[in-house]
Amino acid sequence: MRHYLFLSLPHAVRKYIERTYDPDEVRRGWHAARARLTAESIALPSEAELRLYESDDRLDASNPRATHFLFNSAPLTEKP
């Protein structure tokens, strides 16, 4: 993945958790994982779990993630 969703944990909190999502859009299923995300649920991978980007032609496509790790541990309930 070459696109960074966030640059640091504080940036993720500002970008996803401090944002106010339109309740009607959330009811329609938009922003579902983002709207449920809490600061406590963010578990960043260890450096050992990451792969070093060298170049496009050297991307390691083995064992790809099915979902972004940021949303793997989002609680299943709505935020209060």
Indicate the domain borders of the chain.
Answer: 7-50+64-80
At 75 the pLDDT is 53
Whole-model pTM: value is 0.65
Residue 61 CA to residue 69 CA, distance in Å, equals 17
pLDDT at 1: 54
Mean pLDDT per block of 10 residues along the chain (80 residues) reads 79 92 92 87 85 85 81 55
CA distances from 46 to 4, 49, 50, 65 (A): 16, 5, 7, 15
